[in-house]
Chain A
Amino acid sequence: MLQSLLIISRQAPWSGPGAREALDIALAGGAFDLPIGLLFMDDGVFQLMPGQNAGALQQKDLTANLQALSLFGVEDLFACKDSLADRAILPAGLDAETIKVLPADEIGALIDRYDQVITL
């Protein structure tokens, strides 16, 4: 029986390599066909904003990694509704087909569904 892992990504995409390295854990897990969930919470939801321009900071575009998630079999994607609301990000702007929006009081239950958790 494989142990499932929930990765909670709390960092904005422009605060250093943290957000990319959290995604890398998810992608590596997907590459090994492991049951991986990925939750965007707190400043992590800024990774989901449309219209970002990595080139302005001579950085690599993180959205390519986000799009790679499904190719690597990481399809359980979640975003915290309260974190979105606090930052006035409309869930409508997100791809509702791929990312499930959960209120904070359901995130405890989400964590319960996984065997282990990493919050970055």
Chain B
Amino acid sequence: MSTLHVLSHSPFTDSRLSSCLRLLGTEDALLLCGDAVYAVQPHSLPCDALEQQHARLSLFILDEDLQARGLECPDWATRVDYATFVELSLRYTKVNTWL
């Protein structure tokens, strides 16, 4: 069993990312979209926290939200389009969006 967790809130104003990381299992993955992609703002606290965990973290980022915000995808994450988002939602046994 595995879960794709989807976040769209900015990690700078919201606790969802830290709550999610607290319960993320080794088979699980994280997809950042919307303002949640600010988590990969280089040298920021959330970015450093994610980078520290990257060896055991499958991290995907919605490409259009990176582009809109002028952010780069770190080499320890994977940028995805909607077709891949759909594919990921089937690769993992369930999807948990943090509304």
Contacts and interface: CB of A to CB of B under 8 A. Distances in A.
A/B contact in complex, CB under 8 angstroms:
yes
Interface of A: 8, 10, 41-42, 82-83, 104-105, 107-109, 111-120
Interface stretch (B16-24, B43-51, B57-65): B16-24
A106 to B, nearest CB: 9
17 contacts: A42-B15, A42-B19, A82-B22, A104-B19, A105-B23, A107-B23, A108-B3, A108-B25, A108-B28, A111-B3, A111-B23, A111-B94, A112-B1, A112-B3, A114-B94, A116-B94, A119-B99
Interface of B: 1-3, 15, 19, 22-25, 28, 94-99
Contact of B94 (A42, A104, A109, A117): A117
